[in-house]
Structure 1
Amino acid sequence: MNRRLLHLTVENFRTLTRVELPLGPLTVMVGPNAAGKSNVLHVFEFLADISRSGIDASLEALGGYPEVSYRGGARSPASMRIGVQGMWTEHATESEPDSYNLSLLYRRRAHGELDEYVLSRNERFVQHPLPDGPAVIKLQRTAASVSGQEPADRQTERLTVGRMDSALHAKLALPSNAPSLTAMQTLSEHLRDIRVFDVDVRAARRPSPIGFPGLLLANDASNLADFLMELRGEDDVWEALMDDIRTVLPHIEDIEVRPVTGRGDRVTVVLKERGLRGTTRLADASFGTIRLLCLLTLFHDPHPPVMTCIEEIDHGIHPHALELLALRLREASERTQFLVTTHSPVFVDRLEPEEFVVCERDDLGRSRIPAISTERIHSIIEASEGLPLGELWFSGSVGGSAW
């Protein structure tokens, strides 16, 4: 089964007061600064954090419910909702997808002070681990209910949970062979592993420890050297990566991963550059060179997570290199989903209308995502007699401009 996410629904998460976003293999969001593009990525970070740490800890890390929820109006909204649809069980389909919905309810305490509020959660899973019909799991207040076709899913005893427990984080008291339990654990693993990739160039320049983290490129590329050492062991992958690097960085003849002198537990990257004696430390390479190296390495990852998010993919990249990045990104989206933001018309020129999402923000601070339908984008392209999509966006013809 091709596991992937199909749709995201958000209400009252920061500026995302009401967002319905289809998720294809490649989804690229464009629009002015502060339109809400980054907040969409933060939704997935929030869900991943819930699966690791639980709801209370995840909210606290972001400053609490009043900070995380929409801050327009006189007071915090009474509820916040996040929903995802997708296929993470064996018998889910695009027409009958799995779904997960989390509602956080922010209510004034009865007979309490005017500023005294109580937070609670509702959670609902609809999953298809068996062919006979969906399994439905609900968490409301301190009770959980499970219904499904498998006897292990049908509980005769009341399941008690904490008021703020999430089944993404805390395992329900179900038999270990319950299909619904396995399905929830699968979703939790997928959400926890979603990669929000934002290169920290300083961290990527440094030597990195050798170890298990090298099997997955870190979200900030801080283990770049160790990950490249892993890729060198896969000849076809390494050869394809080097071909791309030499295409966009023609002065680089080779990349070597070497042990750090006196530190057998660390490795570092050095570059062999055309016309220069010796090698160049990655620490001395330019900002754009390192970002290109990190992004191309990411696209050649043979074992990616179910989704990778990338903030401002064009940042620091020469326009001539964006064509190859767009091509490799689309190829990589056959193995994993990508959710990307950009401000580059050159990059947008390489997109299909189905991959392109316009983002805007109104005078009340609410994001409009998508701000225009795919059908409308097709009609505008047709009326323009085939002008490139990036040019139409930059001119404001499809919305999402900064002026």
Structure 2
Amino acid sequence: MSTGKPRTPLRSIQAKNYRSFVDVEVEFGSFSVLAGPNGSGKSNLLSVLQLVRDTARTDIPTAVDQHGGYEQLHRATGDAGPIELTIKAEVTENASSGAPDEYILTLDKDDAGIRRTEDFQYKRTAGRGRRLGFALEGVDAVKVQGNRSNKTSSLTLTDARINAHWLGEGPSRFVSFLSSIRYLDPDVPAARRPSRFDQRRLAPGTANLSAALQQIYDAAPDAFRELVRDLRQCLPGLDSVGFETRGGDAHVVVAELHENGLRRPIELADASFGTVRMLALLTALHDPDPPNLTVIEEVDHGLHPYALDVLVDRMREASGRTQIIAASHSPTLVNRLESEELILCDRDPETGESVIPVLTAGQLAASRGTSGRGLGELWYSGVLDGVPSVG
């Protein structure tokens, strides 16, 4: 099913003086997996997307506070400059690989507090021509470049009113892209509980898993059948997935697993950790109308190695509807990836600086071709840098 959404809206992230990063720039495809040992910077890179998403949903000071404050985000070295986060993407109407949208968020702090600047450039018209750009310093001014306008405003990029006639639809579209990023880190205890019937869009922590599942059942029966088929490959005794609706003051729905040979269905409250987590991931990956970008933290956590075959195939297939960026430290999962799908991460033991990527896709392909072994085997054996940590 075609949704008209770009398969690879996010082209790259550059992060300077942010957490474990001095200056890293990482490019992404439609399906990318960050792999590396604990502390190598995988989660820090994904948290860049969390931060810019949250600034789009609320405001910059609130988002910074939610993420631990400036000191927590800033790389604590004596000569470090301000935090600078750059997002390059193809979101607005006329964006392309040669003229991507470019958003830069700069954060600094002095005695007066946090200073922030947002810079955004995009191509307002089709064909050849300059991109339109503007900078927002704090909330005091908008400086428009390209058309030499000196208009000023007390807006931020996340303010819906910035969609003025002299800026076009671009900023609004870009903010919508940032705010719609799905950052998935299933909270299994919460996912086990009954869901309110009216909360049917999958929540980031999947606390409404049962209701989101029923939404797919109701709205996309074919997708639901494929979801159950995938789950059967991980749970050979599974027959079907059903639902029980319960009344009362809060109308709720409970998902149930029907297994062969059992008289009674198994509610999610009684299902195993790995089963609930896999079901949550499959619910996101079979969503018929997903956001443009889905980010998955520790995608292999709690899953049996046999389930990783299913998971990799499903993420690869889903990347035709939503760009997938996931983090893993499983050699078993990495072994199932192609060279262009893997981004290896490591950390300098002396400086603490994250190194991402460790090797290019071409270097990974060359190592794989020379050895005839899978990427996971090469990584685990130490042929590639960023060896998985034990435990």
TM-score (structure 1 length as normaliser): 0.89
CA contact (8 A) 2:380 2:387 kept: yes
Amino acid at match of 1:232: Y
Q: Is 1:55 matched up with 2:60?
A: yes
Deviations 1:212-233 (A, max 9, x none): x31x211111111111111112
C-alpha distance in 2, partners of 1:262/1:64? 42
Of the candidates 91, 95, 116, which is equivalent to residue 92 of structure 1?
95
**TM-aligned CA deviation for residue 106 of structure 1:** 3.1
Corresponding residue of 2:116: 121
Corresponding residue of 1:311: 297
Corresponding residue of 2:213: 228
C-alpha distance in 1, partners of 2:68/2:282? 35
Corresponding residue of 1:382: 369
Amino acid at match of 1:292: M
1:341-352 superposed matches below 5 A:
341-352=327-338
Q: Is 1:329 matched up with 2:307?
A: no
Match of 1:246, SS state, is helix
Of the candidates 143, 150, 153, which is equivalent to residue 141 of structure 2?
143
C-alpha distance in 1, partners of 2:374/2:231? 27
**TM-aligned CA deviation for residue 294 of structure 1:** 1.1
Of the candidates 66, 71, 86, which is equivalent to residue 66 of structure 1?
71
Amino acid at match of 1:196: Y
CA contact (8 A) 1:36 1:360 kept: yes
C-alpha distance in 1, partners of 2:5/2:270? 42
RMSD over aligned Cα atoms: 1.9
Deviations 1:12-67 (A, max 9, x none): 11112211000110110111101110011111110011112211111122332122
Match of 1:340, SS state, is strand
Task: Work out the percentage of aligned pairs sharing the same amino acid.
Answer: 35
CA contact (8 A) 1:50 1:169 kept: no
Match of 2:71, SS state, is helix
Q: Is 1:185 matched up with 2:172?
A: yes
CA contact (8 A) 2:193 2:269 kept: yes
1:345-384 superposed matches below 5 A:
345-362=331-348, 363-384=350-371
Of the candidates 232, 240, 243, which is equivalent to residue 257 of structure 1?
243
Q: Is 1:286 matched up with 2:284?
A: no
**TM-aligned CA deviation for residue 147 of structure 1:** 4.1
CA contact (8 A) 2:329 2:388 kept: no
**TM-aligned CA deviation for residue 74 of structure 1:** 4.0
Q: Which moved more, 1:373-382 or 1:46-55?
A: 373-382
1:101-116 superposed matches below 5 A:
101-107=104-110, 116=111
Q: Is 1:79 matched up with 2:74?
A: no
CA contact (8 A) 2:57 2:179 kept: yes
TM-score (structure 2 length as normaliser): 0.92
Corresponding residue of 2:232: 246
Which runs of no fewer than 5 residues in structure 1 stay unpaired?
108-115
CA contact (8 A) 1:27 1:340 kept: yes
Which runs of no fewer than 5 residues in structure 2 stay unpaired?
none
**TM-aligned CA deviation for residue 170 of structure 1:** 6.2
1:153-164 superposed matches below 5 A:
155=149, 158-161=151-154
How many pairs were matched up?
Answer: 379
1:25-64 superposed matches below 5 A:
25-64=30-69
Corresponding residue of 1:113: none
Shift in alpha-carbon separation, 1:270–1:402, aligned structure 2, 3 A = closer
